[in-house]
Amino acid sequence: MHEQLNFIIEILGTISFSMSGSFAAMQKRLDPFGVLIIAFVTSVGGGTVRDLLLDTPVFWMHDLLMCGLILATSIFSMIFKSIEKNFKVTLFIFDSFGLGLFTIIGVQKGLNLDIHPLICIGLGTITGCFGGIIRDILLNRIPLIFRKEIYASACIIGGSTFLLLTHFTTLSYTFIQIFTILMIVSVRTLAVKYHWQIPKFYGYESNSEM
């Protein structure tokens, strides 16, 4: 059942990120092949960096289903590009789910390979965030990590909670999985809705060189 849940999680995350990449690339007016490349990089970027760091085979290299799914989602997004305007909120929630899903997958993959839990939080954050970071670098956008939205912070908070709950409670693994994914989604969604910000206790002035 575990396996199945993980599988569904990965499918959903891939679709979410593939859509988010496609729309970002269309906004920048790339041609269809360019849109496809950005969709691909956004979907697999985080997991690829994680797998390279862990020295395990890169997850999509033998996975035609995943590649086909990205291709299909990207083409779908190009055809129904109007959905972006009408479903902006839906897409935002989709992207948040991608973030939560991929973060927890990253933490789990590290734990399975006997990496120290603290380092696994880093692996989860990388899996969740790097796809979006690479997308933004390639598209010359303001890097994700800059924006006011709580993004990487949500991964770190969710990943830490996942570890604390698995270590110190007897809750079922599946429950913890779903709970922390929803937690990342909620933290990010609420942060954007209510303009939450992590307090900066160091006090650089606004008019810095940025």
The stretch among 8-16, 37-45, 87-95, 181-189 that binds a copy of itself (CB under 8 A) is 37-45
Q: Closer CB to a copy of itself, residue 83 or residue 178?
A: 83
If binding is defined by CB under 8 A, does position 34 make contact with a copy of itself?
yes
| 94 vs 88: CA distance, rounded Å | 10
Judge contact between 5 and 23, C-beta under 8 A: no
Closer to a copy of itself by CB, 168 or 204: give it. 204
3 in contact with a copy of itself (CB under 8 A): no
> Does position 29 bind a copy of itself by CB under 8 A?
yes
Site for a copy of itself in 99-128 (CB under 8 A): 115-116, 118-119, 122, 125
Q: Which residues contact 6 (CB under 8 A, 6 or more apart)?
A: 105, 108
Among 10-18, 99-107, 144-152, 166-174, the segment contacting a copy of itself (CB under 8 A): 144-152
Contacts of 150 (CB under 8 A, 6+ apart): 187, 188, 191, 192, 196, 197, 198
Q: Write out the E strands in the chain.
A: none
d(CA 109, CA 117): 11
Contact region with a copy of itself (CB under 8 A), list: 11-19, 92-100, 147-155, 174-182: 147-155
Indicate the SS3 state at residue 157.
helix
Give yes or no for residue 194 binding a copy of itself (CB under 8 A). Answer: no
- Shortest separation between residue 10's beta carbon and a copy of itself, angstroms: 17
